[in-house]
Amino acid sequence: MSDIDIPEDHPRYESLLTRHRIEDGVDKGITSRQGLIAQGRGETFDYLLGERTIPSAAAAERAAAAYLLLAEHPVLSVNGNVAALVPGELVELAEATGADLEVNLFNRTEARMQAIVDHLREHGADEVKGLTADGRIPGLSHERAKVDSDGIGDADVVLVPLEDGDRAEALAAMGKVELVVDLNPMSRSAQSATVPIVDNIVRAVPNITRHARELATASREELQRIVDEFDRDEALAAAEQAIREGGED
Amino acid sequence: MSDIDIPEDHPRYESLLTRHRIEDGVDKGITSRQGLIAQGRGETFDYLLGERTIPSAAAAERAAAAYLLLAEHPVLSVNGNVAALVPGELVELAEATGADLEVNLFNRTEARMQAIVDHLREHGADEVKGLTADGRIPGLSHERAKVDSDGIGDADVVLVPLEDGDRAEALAAMGKVELVVDLNPMSRSAQSATVPIVDNIVRAVPNITRHARELATASREELQRIVDEFDRDEALAAAEQAIREGGED
């Protein structure tokens, strides 16, 4: 899904691609200043993790795929950095799991909403929710609370990558199964998740899609077993240990 | 030196002030996109350090002050983020140590150079070097190598906060005493420093100034003793341990 010509075996392929996509996101009005700073915060956590998917994150990604396949109405929430970094990969995940895509911004402006919707459509998305904004998440201030009532408002399982802590907690309080991608295992978003995925989003989303495709013919019993066997507290502790000590192989 | 009205006893004072100054830096053309991402990278290291000056950093700041006071020609190198974050604090440090200020940019453009010089003058700087650019640091490509021959080119002691690894190594190779402020103790900049200061620049610069004022009447022997007693390898190890394990009290 790269738009630039970087050979995939380049040692800094992932890093160069990420940097290019973020820059492109700024040019298109998708990535905000706060998004650039947030990108940097994530880069340090990823650096300390060794820029790899640790085993506990791989288990979380498989559990997330199982949750999305078991869901009645799964929704993938998309903010500016997510749209900039993995637009095509999100469209593939939505297709592999039958999930809706919904744009949700912490700093919501109509221009940024529309730019992100357009960007996702350029990368193959059909329907993109988020512009209707006729639903509200209880406990959040007006602009932050907006969702589509037939999107996140109605979802039983929501993937919320790189999400603000307040909103992650408010979604969890609504009783939704929350799948969070966040490189900081100590963040409120990761701590409030049903499935915290402590991995770089450019690795996490394709990994979840791969698991979803592998599990496409699995029985509900098998999917439920994968979900039941995932231990979120163990995963958070393993991720923190990997960051703090460089460990967990 | 704040330009906004945040009470100093606000629990997030330092964080809010930093955020405001970085935003202001973007508006003024001082802080680049890469600078915003770098700011985020630093925020995570600071978060893991507990957003405090650890004891080994305090010792490094005192040693840095002693080196500046012992120097024949000390120079404080200023890039975009440094100018945005601590403009007035740098002017105070230059006054306390008799150091020159010199602007040095990794992505050098005349517009950014001039904006930074103007910003430092607004914060009380008299002479600001860097625009002459008639000297070169050996071993770097053309634009990256530019310095003033009567500034960094002539300096025996240089404070280089938030510096790129290539340039930090090249300055060290010139035999200069290099005082580096960098929140990543594993970075090439920190590793190549005579005095690595693993601390947030908004704490580090005022701390060095405070030490310099305290040591203003100290004998050269006393200053030399402080320099000799500082152990860079021990400081780097302590900082990495603090980040990895949250330890060192």
Question: Which pLDDT belongs to residue B11?
Answer: 62
Number of domains in chain B: 1
Q: Is residue A170 part of a domain?
A: yes
Question: Does the pLDDT of residue B1 top 50, yes or no?
Answer: no
Angle (CA) B118-B122-B124 rounded to 5° is 115
- The response to whether B41 counts as a known ligand-binding position is yes
Question: Which pLDDT belongs to residue A15?
Answer: 78
Question: Which pLDDT belongs to residue B249?
Answer: 46
Q: Is residue A206 part of a domain?
A: yes
> Hey, are the CB atoms on B36 and A38 less than 8 Å from each other?
no
Mean pLDDT of chain A: 92
> Hey, are the CB atoms on B33 and A38 less than 8 Å from each other?
no
Question: Does the pLDDT of residue A138 top 60, yes or no?
Answer: yes
Q: Is residue A34 part of a domain?
A: no
pLDDT in tens, B126-143: 999 999 999 999 988 878
Please give the residue of chain B at the shortest CA–CA distance from A27. B33
Domain, as residue range, for B124 = 55-245
Task: Compute the nearest-CA separation of B242 from chain A (Å).
Answer: 9
Task: Compute the nearest-CA separation of A157 from chain B (Å).
Answer: 29
Residue with tokens 């950095």: A81
> Hey, are the CB atoms on A42 and B40 less than 8 Å from each other?
yes
Identity of the residue in A40, A244, A246 whose CB atom sits nearest the CB atom of B36: A40
Q: Is residue B25 part of a domain?
A: no
Question: Which pLDDT belongs to residue A5?
Answer: 63
Q: Using the 8-state DSSP alphabet, how is residue B100 labeled?
A: E
Average pLDDT of span B118-124? 97
Q: Is residue B12 part of a domain?
A: no
Q: Is residue B110 part of a domain?
A: yes
Average pLDDT of span A154-177? 93
Tokens of A53: 């998917």
Identity of the residue in A41, A44, A245 whose CB atom sits nearest the CB atom of B244: A245
pLDDT in tens, B26-47: 999 999 888 999 999 999 999 9
Average pLDDT of span B107-124? 94
Q: Cβ distance B115 to B194 under 8 Å?
A: no
B42 reaches A (C-beta below 8 A): yes
Q: Is residue A14 part of a domain?
A: no
Helix/strand/coil for A195? strand
Average pLDDT of span B236-247? 86
Question: Does the pLDDT of residue B242 top 60, yes or no?
Answer: yes
Question: Which pLDDT belongs to residue A10?
Answer: 67
Question: Which pLDDT belongs to residue A248?
Answer: 46
pLDDT in tens, A29-78: 999 888 999 999 999 999 999 999 999 999 999 999 999 999 999 999 99
Task: Compute the nearest-CA separation of A43 from chain B (Å).
Answer: 6
> Hey, are the CB atoms on A40 and B41 less than 8 Å from each other?
yes
Q: In the structure, what pLDDT confidence band is assigned to residue B97 with cuts at 50, 70 and 90?
A: very high
Chain B residues whose beta carbon lies within 8 Å of the beta carbon of residue A22: 37
Q: Using the 8-state DSSP alphabet, how is residue A29 labeled?
A: T
- Binding-site sequence positions of A for ATP: 19, 41, 182-184, 188-189, 200-201
pLDDT in tens, A15-31: 788 888 998 899 999 99
Identity of the residue in A26, A42, A244 whose CB atom sits nearest the CB atom of B33: A26
**DSSP per-residue letters across A75-139:** EEEE-HHHHHHSHHHHHHHHHHHT-EEEE--SS--HHHHHHHHHHHHHTT-S--B-SS--EE-TT
Average pLDDT of span B167-174? 92
B201 — phi, psi (to 5°)?
-60, -30
User: Mutating which of B44, B184, B186 best tests the A interface, going by the most A Cβ atoms within 10 A?
Assistant: B44
Q: CB neighbours of A225 closer than 8 A, spacing ≥ 6? A: none
| Exposure class string for A175-206: b at 16+ Cβ within 10 A, else e | ebbbbbbbbbbebbbbbbbbbbbbbbbbbbbb
Identity of the residue in B26, B39, B244 whose CB atom sits nearest the CB atom of A40: B39
> Hey, are the CB atoms on B41 and A43 less than 8 Å from each other?
yes
Instruction: Write down the pTM of the prediction.
Output: 0.91
How far is the CA of A28 from the CAs of A55, A77, A85, B227, in angstroms?
35, 19, 13, 51
Chain B residues whose beta carbon lies within 8 Å of the beta carbon of residue A38: 40
Question: Does the pLDDT of residue B4 top 60, yes or no?
Answer: no
B98 reaches A (C-beta below 8 A): no
Please give the residue of chain B at the shortest CA–CA distance from A43. B41
| Cα dihedral A217/A219/A220/A222 (nearest 10) | -110
Q: Is residue A18 part of a domain?
A: no
For residue B203, the domain's CATH number is 3.40.50.12640
Please give the residue of chain A at the shortest CA–CA distance from B34. A36
| Exposure class string for A116-135: b at 16+ Cβ within 10 A, else e | bbbbbeebebeebbbeebee
Question: Which pLDDT belongs to residue A107?
Answer: 81
> Hey, are the CB atoms on A41 and B44 less than 8 Å from each other?
yes
> Hey, are the CB atoms on A42 and B38 less than 8 Å from each other?
no
pLDDT in tens, A80-106: 999 999 999 999 999 999 999 999 988
Question: Which pLDDT belongs to residue B20?
Answer: 87
Q: Give me the percent of chain B exceeding a pLDDT of 90.
A: 80
Please give the residue of chain B at the shortest CA–CA distance from A39. B37
Please give the residue of chain B at the shortest CA–CA distance from A37. B40
Question: Does the pLDDT of residue B223 top 70, yes or no?
Answer: yes
pLDDT in tens, A166-225: 889 999 999 999 999 999 999 999 999 999 999 999 999 999 999 999 999 999 999 999
Q: In the structure, what pLDDT confidence band is assigned to residue B10 with cuts at 50, 70 and 90?
A: low
Question: Which pLDDT belongs to residue B29?
Answer: 93
Chain A residues whose beta carbon lies within 8 Å of the beta carbon of residue B42: 40, 44
- The response to whether B32 counts as a known ligand-binding position is no
